[in-house]
Structures are given as C-alpha cells and as structure tokens.
Structure 1
C-alpha cells in the first residue's frame, strides 16, 4: 500500500501576485507625487528687527505696445543690454525683475531672459497676486 502525500509543493513560481504589487505601488506613487507641491506652502514667516537684505535689482518692463522700460525709464530694445551692463557694472550678484504684460508675444520675454543668462544675471518673472 503506497500512500502519497497530499501536500505536494509546486515548483513553479507565479508572477501574477508580484505584478499586482508593482502596479499598486506604481499607482500609489503616481497619485502621491501629484499631491506634493513644495512651492505652494502658505506659511506665516516670523518677524525680525534686523534690516532687510538689500539686493541690487533692476526692473525691466515690457508694455503691451512692446516698449521697454528699465526702472521706469524708456529704453530702446537695441540699447537694453548695454543699459543693464552699465547698471550692474560693479555689483556682485545682480538680479533682474522682468515685468512683462501678459498680452505680449513670449519671444520678447524670452529675449530678456536670454540676455540675463548670457550675462550671468539672476532673473525673476514678476506676477500679480490674485
């Protein structure tokens, strides 16, 4: 009389459970990564009696009719780079603030951004609060 074991071990490995876990992790990370917005934190900063750090900035404005202004002074587009270089001549860490009208073609704003990158200036795009 030969008795056979009822509990035979199956030597095959099923990948279906592993793929289920991988897809669940993928969905989890895709959903949680879209919920993270580090730049949108609304925090109330503490106050200080120390003076604010004075940073050398220069405001460049582009109006709807494509006129350029440097610190509210009208400048021809061809003279813009030389005017900025004259202003930032002896400043270590210059910053440009670009105030472009929202109706202008993007190429005019990109020209100013390109000018800033060519001369190693920091550039900030000014926006209006809601």
Structure 2
C-alpha cells in the first residue's frame, strides 16, 4: 500500500520559453543599437586646390661594407663627397638625398653623410630594405 500521493509536476526544464525571451532581447538590442547616432561635429571643410609640384630629383648615395662611396652610381672617394653633393644640389636645390648604407657599416659612417648633406641644407632620407 502506497499512501503517498503521486506528484504530477514535471521536473524537466522547458527551455523554449527562455529562448523566446533571449531572441526578443537580441532583436531589441539590435534595433536600438542601429538607431543610436554617434555625436559628431558638423564641419564644412574648406575647398583646396592641388598644386602640381615639379618633380624633385633624388640623389642616391651608396655606402658599401668596405666604405666605398657612390653618388648616383658614380664611385667617388670620401674626400670628394661634399663637393660632388654641392654640385648636384646647385643644379637642383629641391633635391632629396637618399642614403643607402650597407647593414654591416657603423652608424657613424651614415651620420657623417647626414651631416654633410645637412651642411648643404638638403632633405635627407635613409633607405631601408623592406622587411619580409
């Protein structure tokens, strides 16, 4: 004889009502986030005219690992470098000096060339190899 009443309450969890609520919340947040505008300044930018610059010459100075110098593929001794650079810059005062130094030379050798170009009031860039 079993006198205990049998429980008709299901102990299983029904997730369908929870998923309905989650989807409704998701739709609500998606709609609200697209309506919100970010605060920004409304600016009227000035119109500009692009000016065509004349092509500036690039003077390439190469320094190899044995400290041999070349200006635009012409080998020259270090002592003649300032005068050669001056003559090239006299022909084109807006020229840019590009220094291509071997990776095994000392930094002071590159800085010597930078100082020579700086005395000539030239714009100087250091050429690097693209990293792979």
Shared fold, TM over 0.5: yes
* 1:52 CA displacement: 8.7
What count of residue pairs does the alignment treat as equivalent? 80
Note if 1:79 corresponds to 2:84: no
Larger radius of gyration, structure 1 or 2?
A: 2
* 1:87 CA displacement: 1.1
- Return 5+ residue gaps in structure 2 as ranges: 1-51
* 1:116 CA displacement: 1.2
Q: Give TM-score scaled by structure 2 length.
A: 0.57
Note if 1:88 corresponds to 2:63: no
Please say which of residues 82-91 and 70-79 is displaced more in the overlay: 82-91
Structure-to-structure mapping, 1:1-130, within 5 angstroms: 54-130=55-131
- The Cα offsets for residues 104-129 of structure 1, whole Å up to 9 and x where unpaired, read as 01111000000111111000000011
User: SS of the counterpart of 1:60?
Assistant: strand
Supply the distance in 2 between the matched residues of 1:85 and 1:119 (Cα, whole angstroms). Answer: 7
CA RMSD of aligned residues (A): 1.7
Supply the distance in 1 between the matched residues of 2:77 and 2:93 (Cα, whole angstroms). Answer: 26
In the other structure, the counterpart of 1:45 is none
* 1:92 CA displacement: 3.0
- The Cα offsets for residues 58-117 of structure 1, whole Å up to 9 and x where unpaired, read as 000000011001011100000001011111113231210000001101111000000111
User: SS of the counterpart of 1:89?
Assistant: helix
- Return 5+ residue gaps in structure 1 as ranges: 1-50
